Chain A
């Protein structure tokens, strides 16, 4: 692997107006690969992520210690700018005139209110790429609807094909899947494609990513199943039509005590680490034979009920029960190792502690990155998800609120000391 002398996106600058989760997750990627991402924040309109739980206990509460903010914004530059002042908007335009990409995830109309729309911005930077990530889209009867990652998932139909269909439809619960997957990564893909097009033609463009539409693309074949077959898919729980057994099985609990928590602010819940599970996925007959051998070829595996995929599917409830009788006496890691050694797809259902302290694969790959933060101390960051052999990325800590005002206003935009003082007095740089 090459040394990190030059990150691949160096020379690309973002004027990043986005906030909360889905927008900052876009520029998180670009910052890791060297783009200069200037996050435009304001004391008058704090990014909600800066006050979100969790925070480290015992650390003085400021806007700089939020775990999520610090994990969503590594490697970016932070400036404060008050866009409710005309001079603030002028400065924003000045920044855009030396930027390559403008990003926002506001409700439609917010950027227009400030005059920061593509039609205006292209006048000050002809090859600008402007990307916006409204929830529902900049047009249409629901354009002003508000929603979060969790509710977008519900609207898109993913929750309908998830979980236990006999209970209220919780989908993936509080895990806001679209905020950290399809929406930011679709946006990043579109921006990168637009950059490539600009490299070829010199032309910028306007990109709209409606989070609702982007998420419907991940409702996958449930859409075609309806438009083609008029069939409304419901949840298959953990099962699949073409694999059996295919599910999650309880394993032996552990004696160590842990603190489980359902919501970031919920009361301590210290108990034994007994929430242990293994996922098993048997697709082929060879895998089924190997699976039977691992569990010691008990007589029931040789009965007609479980001889073929079709018969196993038919008797899946009983099969799952019999398998769990075996797994529950064994540690999840042990089951995984035995199965994998025999060529059966299997995996520990890793919890937050397993991911960071146990999983030898993530450790060997150096996935989590621990960095010192001036206020929060040494903290964990999600790392890189892929290795680029010639141009590896790098995780650097997130900015404090307004940390890079000096660099951006002085060096990037060329304001003099007096000008900066004046703008500060006028609370434009607030």
Chain B
């Protein structure tokens, strides 16, 4: 790839002001990693999400949160108290040169400060404001408090996850936040397309609950068409095989003969070569599944999961290893494609491997140019160089707790 191409970025003409909490973290990371100039506005003292672990060497420190590192690559940071009169003035100055402003405050909060969309659009009619909230800007629950878990619950994802004899189980990470974020990304870029054509900005109202409800596979149709409520299915429908060193997800439904041949080559297929097993309706009966698993388990338990999956895939069985973080980092496919990227942390004197590009754009590559910012790392660049504040003015604002 030519050097010029390496430096192209799809969104490097955009300035983004990021006032959002955890629901917006992945959204603005996406914009920043595609080249947008994202300025994270932290309250003086630092953003509360800096307190979320895990931490570098388990040292609890707002500059050592791996959660912060992961979600804030390429972003800049300034500190600003937007509730103070001086803070409001500064924010309004910044808004004039901003393309997208992102926030996740309770509905009405920015309006109460005189910083709502209707006020800001007067300063900049092309402004796109993206508001991400748990339940949206309107409706009876608009003021309800939520978290990732509550988002999964109210959006319907939690109910279908877990064992039939246990409480519903959340998915690891903060996936309701990620889901809300990624819908916000597309919403904002659709608004940007409209702005490219017409010059017109707008206000976007993203509801985490709706985003999660949009992610439920067949829940909507099962109820609508058959009045059936999808419930936690436990191991049913999750074709797990036990291997010597862990588990594999193992789908042989479409390749029955291939599976049987493989089992025969490795010690025995018992009665699985009977044609009745090729009938899918028969195959998915719980007692039949259980029998099949017994036979296949006996085979796979004598091999490690990597071998089972590599050999299985070669033979046309859809076999996928149950990977932990180390397996993922060492995965031959990801390693051969140079998926992980090195990010320097000069303050720690270290370079860490980060998850790489979720998408590879040939002309405008996704890229991490810079680790997540320190608290207020770009105060000087933004306040002095861009807004022209003097050192004395900066000191005064600092004394007043504005920055």
The CA-CA distance from A259 to B163 in the complex, in Å, is: 18
B299 at the interface (CB under 8 A from A): no
Per the 8 Å Cβ criterion, residues 294-332 of A in contact with B are none
- A151-B215 contact in complex given A8-B190, A248-B158, A262-B236, C-beta closer than 8 Å: no
Q: Are B232 and A262 in contact (CB under 8 A)?
A: yes
Are B221 and A54 within 8 A (Cβ)?
yes
Interface bits A225-265 vs B (CB < 8 Å: 1, else 0) = 11111011111111011110011111000000011111111
CA distance A350 to B146 in the complex (A): 14
**Does A196 lie within 8 Å of B318, measured CB to CB?**
no
Q: Which residues of B contact A383 (CB under 8 A)?
A: 210
- Nearest 4 CB-CB pairs, A to B? A161-B172, A67-B221, A192-B189, A205-B363
Q: How far is the CB of B52 from chain A (nearest CB, A)?
A: 6
B393 interface residue per 8 A CB criterion: no
Q: B90-98, B178-186, B264-272: which one contacts chain A?
A: B178-186
Q: Separation in Å of the A122 CB from the closest CB of chain B?
A: 11
For residue B356, CB closer than 8 A to chain A, the reply is yes
Whether, in the assembled complex, A5 has its beta carbon less than 8 Å from a beta carbon of chain B, the answer is no
Chain A nearest Cβ from B54, distance in angstroms: 5
Residues of chain A within 8 A of B336, CB atoms compared:
139-141
Tell me which residues across on chain A come within 8 A of B211, comparing CB atoms.
Answer: 385-386
A173 to B236, CA, bound (A): 8
A174 touches B237 (CB 8 A): yes
CB pair A362 B209 closer than 8 Å: yes
A377-390 vs B, CB cutoff 8 Å, 1 = contact: the mask equals 00111111111111
A-B contact count (CB 8 A): 535
The residue on B at minimum CB distance from A154 is B249
Chain A residues contacting B238 (CB-CB under 8 Å) are: 150, 170-171, 173-174
| 9 sampled A-B residue pairs with Cβ under 8 A | A67-B221, A160-B325, A161-B173, A175-B157, A207-B362, A361-B140, A379-B221, A388-B194, A390-B201
B193 interface residue per 8 A CB criterion: yes
Number of interface residues of B (CB under 8 A): 149
**Which among A145, A163, A204, A361 has the highest number of chain B CB atoms within 10 Å?**
A361
Known A-B contacts A160-B323, A221-B70, A351-B231; the reply to A227 vs B353 at CB < 8 A is yes
Contacts of B169 in A (CB 8 A): 162-164, 237-238, 248
Q: Is B191 an interface residue (CB 8 A)?
A: yes
> Inside 8 A of B202's CB, which chain A residues have their CB?
388-391
Return chain A residues, CB-CB under 8 Å to B279.
Answer: none
CB-CB under 8 A from B56, the residues of chain A are: 228-229
Whether B236 pairs with A263 at a CB distance below 8 angstroms is yes
Task: Tell me, yes or no, whether A420 is within 8 Å of chain B by CB.
Answer: no
User: Which chain B residue has the least Cβ–Cβ distance from A214?
Assistant: B358
B166 sits at the interface (CB 8 A): yes
CB < 8 Å neighbour of A242 from B53, B149, B332: B53
CB-nearest residue of chain B to A364: B139
Stretch in A89-97, A338-346, A402-410 touching the partner:
A338-346
